[in-house]
Amino acid sequence: MAAHRDPWPAATARPGPQGSASSGRRPLPSGHEHVAALRRALDDVDVDRLTAWGARLAAVLPAGGRLLAAGNGGSAAEAQHLTAELVGRFRDDRPPMSAIALHADTSSLTAIGNDFGYDDVFARQVRAHGRPGDVLVLLSTSGRSANLLRAAEAARELGMAIWGLVGAADSPLATACDEVVAFGSIFPGAASTATVQETHLVSVHLLCAACDAALGVAPVRSSTAGSQPADSQPAGPSPTGPSPAGSSPAGSSPAGSSPVTRAGTAGRPRSGPLVIVGDALLDRDVAGRVERLAPDAPVPVLDETADTARPGGAGLAALLAAGNGADVVLITALAGDEAGRRLAALLADAGIAVVDLGLTGTTPQKIRLCAGPNTLLRLDRGGGGPVRGGLPDAGRRTLAAARGILVSDYGRGLVRERSVTAALAGRTGGVPLVWDPHPRGGEPCRGATLVTPNLAEARTFTAATPARPDPIAEATARGRRLVARWGAGAVAVTLGERGAVLVGPADGPPLVAPTEPVAADPCGAGDRFAATAAALLGAGALPSEAVVAATRAAGAFLAAGGVSATPPAPGRHTDGGIGMAAAREVVRRTRARGGVVVSTGGCFDLLHAGHVSVLAAARRLGDCLVVCLNSDASVRRLKGPDRPLVSEADRAAVLLALGSVDAVVVFDDDTPAPVLTQLRPDVFAKGGDYAAGDLPEAKVVESWQGQAVVLPYLAGRSTTSMIREAVRRGGT
């Protein structure tokens, strides 16, 4: 380790062994002085920043992300200490996470040093192991090591987050990192090598503790000494003894309940929110029947039967992300009129936090007049006023703490507001930024991680580029122009039923993400695509992985009924959505808005297209859908001892992942009658080829003036036939 100037300027010079201090070097401090310096340093530890870093690791690493760490000398030891805690465990057991100390592979280190020079020993490994969204942690007391500075440059080129544990806050390495925890400022003179390294060790432990806390890791007491940490094995038996019979460890399900009924935050990554920035609208579907023409003009008369409202624009993107369980904050501008208050209430019902800049004028509304599946007319109302104020401090803090940012620009002015644009352009920490542009909006900030125009928008942005007969070739050419124009990491041009084309700054072949064609209103598919991509990039996915998954999600969204089947305020799926309490809350919210409650029931073992079709059709009958699910014991009584193939916990989780399902209740009886009696749905729907009067649930539902209906079922789709075919092909 390199020598430094005396780090303890307050220390008193003492004579050496020969009674002289004339050597020109100050003597080492006494033990008391050493401890006093360390105490001052620990008082200066930025615990809040380390806690935020831990939360970010808890989001990135379990989702397939990776941490790389590097340092020289004693800092190398601290870097390896950090990776060992993540791959192993800090205190309590949890799944291992990917973390690599770049100095620990001596073969690579010496080969790179010999062939390329010591300054590149870390940078070359960063380029080999690092991916966009990964984290690089660099440790240094001096902050001047060339090999660490080169590593930071390589990480920035890849779109990684770069964190530094350094001595001086004004060192070159501190400047090269996105975020730093520095200790040099506590000393009047140069920072102490020993003290800085000691505070780095404490910082490593604080970072690991924060990561585990964000993951919801519960203390685990093992019955075998071999699984205890090597430095904490008790000398004798556990003083607590065995757990009482029937008790549950921390974080486990109570007796008799399914693990899927636990609060979704337990044991799952917790981090900053997904932040969505853009113009929110109020979408309304006015549905009715058309049975006559108006006497005064040859136009149809719509007899209104329902008026359903949901957030639109950036609000729809937030609604879809929240329905998938993300913690969502929406930065938008809301008007103070009745429509604005209704929009704010819908966002609150969906669990979406709002940073409101205020909107002059009236709330923009898109009102669709519908008869059955057909839209007769769309009426646009309101809007046009400017944003009332600039981005408040709460908005800046929210953006700084985000795990990912989605700009959903609908061209109404919020994104062009100067303070909003400046905050987006100045984002730090490698936070992924997805930009869904609008021709009437502003240009995306340079350096956006991913921009997602559709082909029509790409044509508007690149009007000078000649058209091509092949949409994929045209999307590729226009996408490359936009990557260069906007300095974006990548551009994904969406092509409707043809999927999406992803291009980057290089000249390699594009990535084409196909999708299944769906004959449906495409409204909302772009929001579904962008919200999914932003959430996945925030969790550490590669742009290619995010775009492929987002394309599939958009197709599934349309297949499930699209925006018309989207609940106005979907249940927070990660915070329950399963169980009677969650179902009652969904019913309460729906009825408070004057909506229609629909229920259905079944085993749903090996979910297939027939199930999905019936569930989507049932959801379109009202404003929420509660599924009554046969328990494992109930399925065995009805189907035989070899069923179900899928446990009730997994069946419930899969059902809840569908956009058409708002809540799931598992029941042990042969029919869902007891559940229906408690929920009292307005409609009970069942797929099949029998009459509604033959349904055993019909009399129960009709007892409170509800209605039982039968829905068409896709022929040839059944779990039993799937099992028989699998057995036939397997030859057993």
pLDDT category of residue 724 using cuts at 50, 70 and 90: low
Confidence check: pLDDT of 337 > 50? yes
pLDDT at 727: 61
- Classified as helix, coil or strand, 213 is helix
What per-residue confidence (pLDDT) applies to 271? 58
Determine the pLDDT at residue 505.
80
Of 261-265, 329-333, 465-469, 674-678, the range with the lowest mean pLDDT is 261-265
Mean pLDDT of the region 570-580: 54
Residue range 588-629, pLDDT digits in tens: 888 877 889 999 999 888 788 788 888 988 998 998 999 999
Whether residue 638 is predicted with pLDDT greater than 90 in this model: the reply is no
Q: How confident is the model at residue 11 (pLDDT cuts 50, 70, 90)?
A: very low
Tokens 């059955």 locate to: 372
Highest mean pLDDT pick, 182-186, 305-309, 353-357, 570-574: 353-357
Both tokens of 169, joined, read 């806050």
Predicted confidence at residue 411, as pLDDT, reads: 85
- Distance from C-alpha of 165 to C-alpha of 148, rounded to nearest angstrom: 12
Q: Which of 134, 527, 623, 662 is catalytic?
A: 527
Selection from 653, 657, 631 nearest residue 644 by Cα: 631
With a CB cutoff of 8 Å and minimum separation 6, the contacts of 158 are 126, 127, 130, 131, 132, 134
| Chain segment 480-498, per-residue pLDDT in tens | 999 999 988 999 999 988 8
pLDDT tens readout for residues 130-139: 887 789 999 9
Higher pLDDT, 18 or 700: 700
| Residue linked to tokens 């993300």 | 326
* Structure confidence at residue 314 (pLDDT): 92
Mean pLDDT of 287-303: 89
In DSSP terms, 308 is beta-bridged to 285
Residue-averaged pLDDT of the chain: 79
How do residues 39-75 score in pLDDT, each as one tens digit?
Answer: 777 777 788 888 888 888 887 787 677 999 999 998 9
Report pLDDT for 26.
Answer: 53
Residue 236 has pLDDT above 50, yes or no: no
Residue 278 pLDDT more than 70? Answer: yes
What is the model's pLDDT at position 27? 59
Instruction: Write the CB contacts of 270 (distance below 8 Å, at least 6 apart in sequence).
Output: 55, 58, 59, 214, 215, 216
pLDDT of residue 184: 58
Question: Looking at residue 185, what is its pLDDT?
Answer: 45
Name the β-bridge partners of 274. Answer: 328, 404
User: Which residue matches tokens 């870093």?
Assistant: 53
Say how many Å lie between the first and final Cα of the chain, rounded. Answer: 67
299 contact partners, CB below 8 Å, separation of at least 6: 293
How far, in Å, CA of 259 to CA of 275, rounded?
Answer: 29
Q: Model-level pTM greater than 0.95?
A: no
SS3 559: helix
User: How far is the C-alpha of 556 from the C-alpha of 550, rounded, in Å?
Assistant: 10
Which pLDDT belongs to residue 44? 72
| Nearest-angstrom CA–CA distance, 565 and 542 | 30
Token pair for 80: 């390896």
Highest mean pLDDT among 229-238, 276-285, 708-717: 276-285
Mean pLDDT of 637-662: 85
Distance of CA 335 to the CA centre of its chain: 28
Q: Is the per-residue pLDDT at 548 higher than 90?
A: no
What phi, psi does 714 have (nearest 5°)?
A: -65, 125
Examine the pLDDT at 419 and tell me if it is beyond 50: yes
Percentage of the chain exceeding pLDDT 90: 27
Question: Are the C-beta atoms of 133 and 160 separated by less than 8 Å?
Answer: yes
Percentage of the chain modeled with pLDDT above 70: 80
- Exposed, middle or buried: residue 695 (CB in 10 Å: 0-12, 13-18, 19+)? buried
Distance between CA atoms of 293 and 291, rounded to whole angstroms? 7
Chain centroid to CA 324: 9
The rounded distance, in Å, linking the Cα atoms of 93 and 340 is: 48
Q: 104-113 long-range contacts, Cβ below 8 Å, gap at least 24?
A: 104/80
The pLDDT value recorded for residue 696 is 80
Range name among 212-216, 262-266, 479-483 with the lowest pLDDT average: 262-266
pLDDT reported for residue 304: 84
- Strands 491-494 vs 500-503: parallel, antiparallel or unpaired: antiparallel
Got the DSSP string for 229-243?
A: -TT---SSS-TT-SP
Which of the 8 DSSP states describes residue 252? S
Using the Cα atoms of residue 157, residue 530, residue 61 and residue 504 in order, give the sign of their dihedral. Answer: negative
8 Å CB contact between 211 and 58 = yes
pLDDT on residue 190: 40
Fold of 577-724: Rossmann fold (3.40.50)
Residue 728: pLDDT band (50, 70, 90) is low
Joined together, the tokens standing for residue 528 give 């579904």
Mean pLDDT of 34-38: 73
86-95, 637-646, 719-728: range with lowest mean pLDDT: 719-728
pLDDT at 211 over 80: yes
Helix, strand, coil % in the chain, rounded to nearest 5: 40, 20, 45
What average pLDDT does this structure show over 337-360? Answer: 89
* Of 218-227, 264-273, 507-516, minimum mean pLDDT range: 218-227
User: Which residue type, as a one-letter code, is found at position 253?
Assistant: S
Q: What is the CATH number of domain 274-290+301-564?
A: 3.40.1190.20
Quick check: is 46 catalytic? Answer: no
According to DSSP H, which parts of 487-639 are helical? 525-538, 543-559, 580-592, 609-619, 632-639
Q: What are phi and psi of 20, to 5 degrees?
A: -130, 145
Higher pLDDT, 122 or 248: 122
- Write out pLDDT tens, residues 666-711: 988 888 988 998 899 999 998 865 555 567 888 899 989 899 998 8
Place of tokens 């719509």: 302
User: What is the C-alpha separation between 452 and 459, in angstroms, rounded?
Assistant: 13
Give the helix/strand (H/E) hosting 164: strand 161-166
Are both 33-215 and 577-724 of the same fold?
yes
Here the tokens at position 507 are 């000249």
Q: Are 500 and 471 in contact (CB under 8 A)?
A: no
Residue 259's Cβ-side half-sphere holds a number of Cα atoms within 13 Å equal to 11
State how far Cα 17 lies from the chain centre: 63
Structural domain spans, the chain:
33-215, 274-290+301-564, 577-724
Select, from the ranges 80-84, 230-234, 496-500, 725-729, the one with the highest average predicted confidence (pLDDT): 80-84
Return the amino acid letter for 118: Y
> CATH classification of 33-215 is 3.40.50.10490, yes or no?
yes
Between CA 638 and CA 605 the distance in angstroms is 12
Q: Which amino acid is at 17?
A: P
